[in-house]
């Protein structure tokens, strides 16, 4: 009979590996909106979209990332989750609607970099 010295010691059980759980759509929308501003899209204040090509406020970029027109504000479950995550991230938990995000976007002193960072952080948090 064959023998191997390793058989004398119980083998260690490998820790479970994380499952490849799909990412929720609302997180993908936030990431895509952030990526738009990191790419060629221009961030603006004072409107959903600008006269220049690919110019959006945060809400306009979110709408486009979700597959809608910039000024279209449908009430889908994914967009409600996006707005709730953003509202929580900016300190307005429970006030998650497009108007809250729009006012935050248009605040004096707001920067493109800040909008990108908040979109990215909101995508990673638990709501």
Counting Cβ atoms within 10 Å, is residue 121 exposed (0-12), middle (13-18) or buried (19+)? Answer: middle
pLDDT at 12 over 70: no
Q: Containing H/E element for 56?
A: strand 55-56
DSSP 8-state class, residue 7: G
Closest to 55 measured CA to CA, from 74, 68, 70: 70
Query: How many CB atoms are closer than 10 A to CB 58?
Result: 28
Q: Tell me what pLDDT residue 8 has.
A: 66
State the alpha helices, DSSP H only, in 1-127.
Answer: 25-38, 58-65, 77-89, 98-105, 112-124
Residues 61-112: pLDDT tens digits?
A: 999 999 999 998 888 999 999 999 999 999 887 677 788 899 999 999 999 9
Q: Tell me what pLDDT residue 92 has.
A: 81
Q: Tell me what pLDDT residue 107 has.
A: 95
Lowest mean pLDDT segment, chosen from 28-32, 51-55, 66-70, 87-91: 51-55
């Amino acid at each position: 009979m064959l023998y191997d010295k390793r058989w004398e010691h119980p083998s260690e059980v490998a820790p479970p590996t994380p499952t490849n759980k799909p990412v929720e759509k609302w997180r993908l929308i936030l990431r895509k909106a952030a990526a738009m501003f990191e790419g060629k899209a221009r961030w603006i204040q004072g409107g959903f979209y600008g006269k220049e090509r690919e110019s959006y406020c945060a809400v306009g970029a979110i709408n486009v990332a979700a597959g809608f027109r910039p000024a279209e504000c449908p009430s889908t479950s994914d967009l409600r989750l996006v707005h709730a995550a953003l509202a929580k991230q900016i300190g307005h938990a429970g006030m998650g609607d497009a108007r809250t995000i729009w006012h935050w976007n248009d605040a004096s002193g707001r920067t493109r970099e800040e909008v990108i960072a908040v979109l990215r952080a909101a995508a990673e948090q638990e709501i």
